[in-house]
Amino acid sequence: MEAWINFAKGPLFTVTFLIMLLGLARLVLIQVYSLFITKGRRLKNAPWKTIFSDLSTWMVPVRHLIKGTIIFSLVSFIFHVTAILVSLFLIDHIVLWEDYLGINLPAIGRGLADILTLTTIACILILFCCRLFVPRQRAMSQKMDYVLLIMVLLPFVFGYMAGHPYLNPLPWQTAMLLHILSAEALFVVIPFTKLAHIVLYIFDRLSALHWQLKPGAGDKVAEALFGKEARV
Amino acid sequence: MEKQVATNTEPQIQTKKYPYYIEQPVDQNRVGRFLEIFAAVLSYTDYKPLLDSYCTTNTKCNRCAVACPIFVTTGDPKDIPCYKTNLLLNIYKRYFTIGGWFKSRFSFNSFELTEEMIDEMLDLFYRCTVCQRCTKECPLGVDHGLITRLGRYILSLMRIVPKALQVSVREQLEGETHNTSKVPKIALIDTLEFLAEEMEEILGIQLEFPCDKMNRGYTFFCAVSDYLLEPDTLMGNAAVLYASGDWDNWTIGTCNYDGINYGLFYSDWHLERIILQMVKEVDRLNGRKILIGECGHASRSAHEFVPVFGGARPYPVMNFMEYTLESLKNGKISLNPDIITEKVTYHDPCNIARSGWIVNQPREILRSFVKNFIEMEPNGQFNYCCGGGGGLVSIDEINEYRMEVSGKVKADQIIKTGAEIIISPCANCKKQLRELVEHYHLPCKVMGLHDLILQAIEIPGGKSTEERKAERMEMEMMG
């Protein structure tokens, strides 16, 4: 078992983490190229003020708690904050960042980490229930939406179990291995699923730039389809 | 929406039912044609990165549902903005991405475009008013309005487009009059003479509307329907220009006098051609600025797309409310605060308010002379659409849908204000709101902002506002 854990913590971690990083870098590069290079000078006409104001208000979306979505929005916001804090600043993860990336981040205390982890788990369960029981959400949800929520849930559950052996029905090593493997599974799917919004979020928020249409494109499409004599 | 059958087509190809009248229904190989057109659009335009990003990130969190006045009214999942967006995204994913190709080859459960999906798209894309309220409430900022518009663009290239819009655009781009309401030049000149006579009677000043004057500061474009239906708005505009001392600094071009641009609602191709037609007219007159009258989508299309399509040094575009506020702040015009005593509310046209461009200007103007002003809730950037946006107001055959579904939330909002006058500086919104007022028997009237200004503006050398009010009341008493 020890060998498996070492394998998961070593080469497998490196490979999966690289898949995530390279996958996300590919998405970012495509967006940067297509937005900032191909649109070029047209971007100066874009409504930058509105874009930045929307971006800033959505960072802490208290102004966007509208009737019918208050629970969902609050839970969703808390989930994002707690999940990011635990993933980045847990003392055991700090060691990883230092070993692999040479980054030295401050750590959060064990007690706080426990609270944040349990809050994250509770939030994911509530979001899952919302998908399952709110009719309009259920109507829009596909299998993958549920699968991804479970995939996000597992590293937190196994991580908490590994950190609390007395509450853990599984052997510590099993819980730790499952924690690492579930997190690595998540790394692999992130660039290929909606979880890629961790980096593409910023580009979606730049949607207004896409109203800066390409001059002459309409004529070219019409000519390609109907010839030079295209009529309305 | 009640299904209706198009009537002006060849009987032998009349096999499908469309929710609105269309000119030439294409009933054969629609799937193939749709994909062919989608591919052509992707080849020549910039939509690919947007679709790539949305395909990956679309979380379907459903916040957009509660923001959409249509879903709030119907509760039908098909009216959720994300549902409509996904119709197009699923097609893009399947047919234009490697992942989609891979899945179609190796999965038993792959998605295929069908005739039924095309029916669903042509219906749902025109159930949306493209008001973009959902975009403001989307945590990721997914612009469902832009995707709906792209869907409409592809359908329009299949010739699936409401006849009312297509006929208008054809006249504007390829007809003799170059405007959507087919108003000939001679009728325009007659109307302007009539307006001058009316202004003499109402305001006590003698004027001649400037047509085809060269080298003027402002070239004026309004929704051409205003010349037929909104004389008070136009006289209000003219009164502000006169009182500001700019009477010799503006002109109307008689080769192109229509600010309407339905391309904004459904076609990149038409949008650009209409903008270029407008720019050509300003070039001809050697004008310096484009001044757009009270029309939401005309203002937005010129403001956003003259800089995009209008060449290296595009003309600045100004909405008339910006001009009026500037005149008011500079002390060039004076509005009498004792003339308007009714309770007034303001409806924000989505096309100018959603981006935050024109939100405070009309309020500053109104608060300067209307004592009893009340806001709708919500308002400004988060306002509700009148229910006729995105070109829907021009489609008469879906009137019942506009009244009972898309306009229902707005009607409730108006009732809550208890206002006697609803101000809406947009030709489309005014038409829809008037129909709502009639449909729901609301005790209020719908006016443009400059209709109200016409009553309260002090005209140098003309009749006083009190005198005009007395005359107006006398006229009303006489019926």
Work out the average pLDDT over B205-225: 96
Per-residue model confidence (pLDDT) at position B9: 44
Which positions in chain B touch A68 (Cβ < 8 Å)? 65-66
Band of pLDDT at residue B109, cut at 50, 70 and 90: low
Band of pLDDT at residue A97, cut at 50, 70 and 90: confident
Q: How far is CA A93 from CA A78, A98, A101, B285, in A?
A: 21, 9, 11, 69
pLDDT of A6-41, one tens digit each? 898 889 999 999 999 999 999 999 999 888 887 877
Per-residue model confidence (pLDDT) at position B6: 44
User: Does residue B4 have a pLDDT over 50?
Assistant: no
User: Does residue A63 have a pLDDT over 80?
Assistant: no
The letter for the amino acid at B61 is: C
Per-residue model confidence (pLDDT) at position B101: 86
User: Which of A128, A204, A212, A225 best probes binding to B when mutated, by most B CB atoms within 10 angstroms?
Assistant: A204
User: Does residue A83 have a pLDDT over 90?
Assistant: yes
Assess contact for A45 and A213: CB atoms under 8 A: no
At residue A132, the 3 state secondary structure works out as helix
> Nearest CB to B58: which of A45, A50, A194?
A194
DSSP string spanning B25-60? ---SSHHHHHHHHHHHHHHHSSHHHHHHHHHHH---
Nearest chain A residue to B44, by CA: A217
Assess contact for B60 and A197: CB atoms under 8 A: no
> Nearest CB to A136: which of B62, B137, B307?
B62
User: Does residue B479 have a pLDDT over 90?
Assistant: no
Contact criterion met (CB < 8 Å) for B59 and A54? no
Q: Which residues of A175-210 are buried (b: 16+ CB within 10 A; e: fewer)?
A: bbbbbbbbbbebbbbbbebbbbbebbbebbbbbbbb
User: Does residue B10 have a pLDDT over 50?
Assistant: no
User: Which of B58, B62, B87, B169 best probes binding to A when mutated, by most A CB atoms within 10 angstroms?
Assistant: B62
Sequence-ordered alpha helix ranges (H) in B262-374: 263-266, 268-285, 296-309, 320-329, 350-353, 360-369
Tokens of B153: 């663009």
Return all residues near B42 (Cβ < 8 A) that are at least 6 apart: B48, B51, B96
Q: Which residues of B399-424 are buried (b: 16+ CB within 10 A; e: fewer)?
A: bebbbebbbbbbbebbeebebebbbb
pLDDT of A134-166, one tens digit each? 999 999 998 999 999 999 999 999 999 999 888
CA-based nearest distance A174→chain B, Å:
32
The dihedral sign for the CA sequence B408, B410, B412, B415: negative
Chain-wide mean pLDDT for chain A?
90
The dihedral sign for the CA sequence B445, B446, B450, B451: negative
Band of pLDDT at residue B13, cut at 50, 70 and 90: very low
Per-residue model confidence (pLDDT) at position B93: 93
pLDDT of B78-103, one tens digit each? 999 999 999 999 999 999 998 888 88
Tell me how far apart the alpha carbons of residues B304 and B27 are, in angstroms, rounded to a whole number.
36
Per-residue model confidence (pLDDT) at position B16: 62
Environment class of residue A111 by beta-carbon count within 10 Å: exposed (0-12), middle (13-18) or buried (19+)?
Answer: exposed
* CA nearest to A50, candidates B323, B73, B132: B132
User: Does residue B389 have a pLDDT over 50?
Assistant: yes
User: Does residue B73 have a pLDDT over 70?
Assistant: yes
* CA nearest to A157, candidates A145, A146, A170, A147: A170
Assess contact for A7 and A14: CB atoms under 8 A: no
Per-residue model confidence (pLDDT) at position A105: 86
At residue B341, the 3 state secondary structure works out as coil
Please state, as a whole number, how many other Cβ atoms lie within 10 Å of the Cβ of residue B330. Answer: 9
Q: How far is CA B24 from CA B158, B173, B190, B390, in A?
A: 9, 19, 36, 21
User: Of B475 and A186, which is predicted with more confidence?
Assistant: A186
Q: Check if B355 contacts A (Cβ < 8 Å).
A: yes
At residue B356, the 3 state secondary structure works out as coil
The region, left, alpha or beta by phi > 0 then psi within -120 to 50, assigned to residue A68 is left
The radius of gyration of chain B from alpha carbons, rounded to an integer in Å, stands at 23
User: Which of B78, B269, B384 best probes binding to A when mutated, by most A CB atoms within 10 angstroms?
Assistant: B269
Chain-wide mean pLDDT for chain B?
93
Which positions in chain B touch A142 (Cβ < 8 Å)? 60
Contact criterion met (CB < 8 Å) for B45 and A215? no
Write down how long chain B is.
479
Tell me how far apart the alpha carbons of residues A227 and A121 are, in angstroms, rounded to a whole number.
59
Band of pLDDT at residue B5, cut at 50, 70 and 90: very low
CA-based nearest distance A98→chain B, Å:
30
Per-residue model confidence (pLDDT) at position B113: 95
Contact criterion met (CB < 8 Å) for A35 and B48? no
> Nearest CB to A47: which of B308, B309, B355?
B355
Contact criterion met (CB < 8 Å) for B308 and A42? yes
Quick one: three-class SS letters along A169-229? Answer: CCCHHHHHHHHHHHHHHHHHHHHHCHHHHHHHHHHHCCHHHHHCCCCCHHHHHHHHHHCCC
Per-residue model confidence (pLDDT) at position B454: 97
Band of pLDDT at residue B460, cut at 50, 70 and 90: very high
Nearest chain A residue to B167, by CA: A232
pLDDT of B145-204, one tens digit each? 999 999 999 999 999 999 999 999 999 999 999 999 999 999 999 999 999 999 999 999
Nearest chain B residue to A56, by CA: B139
User: Of B433 and B98, which is predicted with more confidence?
Assistant: B433
Tell me how far apart the alpha carbons of residues B29 and B171 are, in angstroms, rounded to a whole number.
29
User: Which of A221, A226, A229, A231 best probes binding to B when mutated, by most B CB atoms within 10 angstroms?
Assistant: A221
Nearest chain B residue to A196, by CA: B57
